[in-house]
Structure 1
């Protein structure tokens, strides 16, 4: 890989004696990792299921509550991936939020302002423990689609996905959020090893453009942060203009104060104080991962706006729709039916913490239960991944690898003797398929068979 001479000069000035070790890191392979979805499986439970990742070797990331290194190109085909047990993510990107803390007794309001593809959104949703709301915003349509797909796969039910510009969101959520992550668009210097093609896009002009863009994003982010709320600022670049100088702007111009970094960051990242700003740097020659920068802030004061209860603006599901849902699943899911609403052509379930919706720009909200199809009801895949264990009927495949592989290929599930014991199976009703206790997708019981309803676009067809 041939790095731009100006870039090398900048890095040499930044790193001093560490520059050679940094350059040598480009001779090493990029590191792969995943984090566990602790909302569906614990680290202890995951370690007991050897078949969750087929034959893929993986090892624990030191000090991480849910991170693992792995070596494979096939992890996206494993039952662990399909079931939303895991999310593949760079270790340094994961480190930004590895130990983010939330008060246990609150219903947190969280915003991931630059969310795609969804790795950090996943971490924030896990930290929320299903309480409150996580707003995940991504203006780019194709990236937003990937974000929605990942949220659906992971089975999160308290996430609101939007495709708005920051200023549009700021008009809806003034002084609203307890925690905001701003992983802003940047020059990507920390990803050169992982994505060598991005080297050709580097320029000092691009750095200046990124600084200007991040300033606009952060001004709106701060306006959405409640007094006493926390803001996490991160990039995957090294340029001080995009990092420490931006931190200086956050404190001097936007009035934030520095907050204490998590112990994980203090232990594994390099503290940096440049250009009047402060933060923490993850370098590939010092940490087993790619490059990241992070800094932690707090907004002075202490207050929290209360929901009015009238901000959702959605029509509740009628008794007719509720009856169709009951017929579809052979009973009602174990959820609060007063939180079932109509959004466009969808029937959705909203977690209690979702108390405010933008008038436009929503691409995903709560759990998509399905839609009316004449007198019938057609379930959506999300209802199985998010509410599978709350449905009246579900089938547990344990860790039977052959059964799971057949299901992921789209085949009918064989009614083995163990499955025949499930007396809750009702003809022409839908239920969830579980792998190692974690919902993967759906089935329809008809004619004594479990017909596969795993989406065709997600199946392992090779």
Structure 2
């Protein structure tokens, strides 16, 4: 692999006798991994049911390696949101953030959603998860992954960190800053990262990372937990960024991050400038020491900061006249109607996570659990609602084998012949929700989204 010459020289100076092993790692096959979505299925059960050879990733209990010949992205279980395909070392980040059910959690630079979906699974549907992505197109992809995984308590936003800091001072229990970086840890995976690399780009990234960290710090509750991560090796963006941040925010200290076999510690002697105390508690993941790519992770704890001011909460409504078609749908289709704080985006009906603050004048992509569309005299359920339901939550369902021609036809958008009661049916793959169909006169009309339909043969 052709690496940037200045990068090679820099890493050789940093790593010394370790450099040869590091350089050889770029000629090896990169690790492939998937993380089981425990909101829908236990890791052991998926491992038993998925016809792909899996082996455990040591540092994350829901994570597994798979071989380069496997195609888990082309399996119906992927459409059903039973797992997220994620680089193995990146899974360590969600493990270290370790959010708890009921907390207010922010993923500040969240697209495409691997770490967001990991945090959501650990929260088990309780609490408020805000996933933010400044880039509009990437925010849309993030929202799609939140939907596929079946997350009910997430808000997806498209804002700059500084704008959020103005609105949410001292609000979050935990914040993840998976910072935009020079991407040196992704060189095996992403040729663009290699071609875009330069020393000037590293410096630019380090300055931007400091700005993002300062915005995140303003949003953390006193005593809260801030996790910083990158997928790069440059000390300027790792130990250096943390040191610069702590010089400006002295109420923060570095806390211990649990390490696993093969994880290295941060290096104070690599810092370009005064080094913060405790950098040996931060983590470095190297491709020549573990079966994964590069990552850096630091845990920061706030010992001060401002208490959150009293705040306004999001506008909601419970007008039964407006909701009558939704409630009629629930009575016919669901065993219990989702209730709580509703909001409308045009015709789109959402259920807000508990304790969601006011979002006026902020760019909100997804304000909560998307239930469906209030059309004239009828309610049409969303794909997000289907993917977040289990078989025992609906009155009518059609369960298809994951390897059946009927399920393949459904994923291609075809109507199916079946018997049953007229109305909405939840379509399942081996018992796991995958979409809606509407039955009339023995024909199940297909409601699998057009943009997701399988084309041709896999």
TM-score by length of 2: 0.91
Alignment of 1:11-90 (within 5 A): 11-50=11-50, 54=51, 56-70=52-66, 71-72=68-69, 74-90=71-87
8 Å Cα contact 2:47/2:54 also seen in 1: no
**Aligned counterpart, 2:195:** 200
* C-alpha deviation, 1:29, in angstroms: 1.5
Structure 1 residues 354-380: Cα deviation after superposition (integer angstroms, max 9, x where no partner): 344353200012111122221122222
**Aligned counterpart, 1:325:** 326
* C-alpha deviation, 1:334, in angstroms: 2.3
Alpha-carbon distance in structure 2 between the residues aligned to 1:458 and 1:367: 19
* C-alpha deviation, 1:78, in angstroms: 0.6
After TM superposition, the structure 1 stretch with the greater mean CA deviation from structure 2, 70-79 or 132-141, is 70-79
Matched, 1:126 2:121: yes
Select which of 445, 452, 458 maps to 1:458: 452
From the superposition, tell whether residues 236 and 358 of structure 1 become closer, same or farther in structure 2 (CA, over 3 Å): farther
Alignment of 1:205-284 (within 5 A): 205-255=200-250, 256-262=252-258, 265-274=259-268, 275=271, 276-277=275-276, 278=279, 279-284=282-287
Aligned Cα RMSD in Å? 2.2
Alpha-carbon distance in structure 2 between the residues aligned to 1:101 and 1:164: 24
8 Å Cα contact 1:93/1:292 also seen in 2: yes
* C-alpha deviation, 1:414, in angstroms: 4.4
Structure 1 residues 306-347: Cα deviation after superposition (integer angstroms, max 9, x where no partner): 976x41023x14323432123335155624424232233311
8 Å Cα contact 2:156/2:364 also seen in 1: yes
8 Å Cα contact 1:81/1:87 also seen in 2: yes
Alignment of 1:173-192 (within 5 A): 173-192=168-187
Structure 1 residues 375-417: Cα deviation after superposition (integer angstroms, max 9, x where no partner): 12222211111235434433333555333323212223443xx
Q: Which runs of 5+ in 1 are unaligned?
A: none
8 Å Cα contact 2:99/2:105 also seen in 1: no
8 Å Cα contact 1:237/1:293 also seen in 2: yes
**Aligned counterpart, 1:373:** 375
8 Å Cα contact 2:341/2:352 also seen in 1: yes
Alpha-carbon distance in structure 1 between the residues aligned to 2:334 and 2:406: 27
Counterpart of 1:3 in 2: which secondary structure?
coil
Alignment of 1:162-177 (within 5 A): 162-177=157-172
* C-alpha deviation, 1:250, in angstroms: 2.7
Matched, 1:147 2:142: yes
**Aligned counterpart, 2:348:** 346
**Aligned counterpart, 1:431:** 425
Structure 1 residues 198-234: Cα deviation after superposition (integer angstroms, max 9, x where no partner): 2121111111111111111111100000001100000
Counterpart of 2:235 in 1: which secondary structure?
coil
Counterpart of 1:363 in 2: which secondary structure?
strand
**Aligned counterpart, 1:405:** 408
8 Å Cα contact 1:167/1:220 also seen in 2: yes
Counterpart of 1:289 in 2: which secondary structure?
coil
From the superposition, tell whether residues 290 and 63 of structure 1 become closer, same or farther in structure 2 (CA, over 3 Å): closer
8 Å Cα contact 1:161/1:363 also seen in 2: yes
From the superposition, tell whether residues 334 and 398 of structure 1 become closer, same or farther in structure 2 (CA, over 3 Å): farther
Q: Which runs of 5+ in 2 are unaligned?
A: none
8 Å Cα contact 1:131/1:353 also seen in 2: no
Alpha-carbon distance in structure 2 between the residues aligned to 1:392 and 1:252: 59
Counterpart of 2:116 in 1: which secondary structure?
helix
* C-alpha deviation, 1:186, in angstroms: 0.7
**Aligned counterpart, 1:2:** 2
Pairs aligned (count): 443
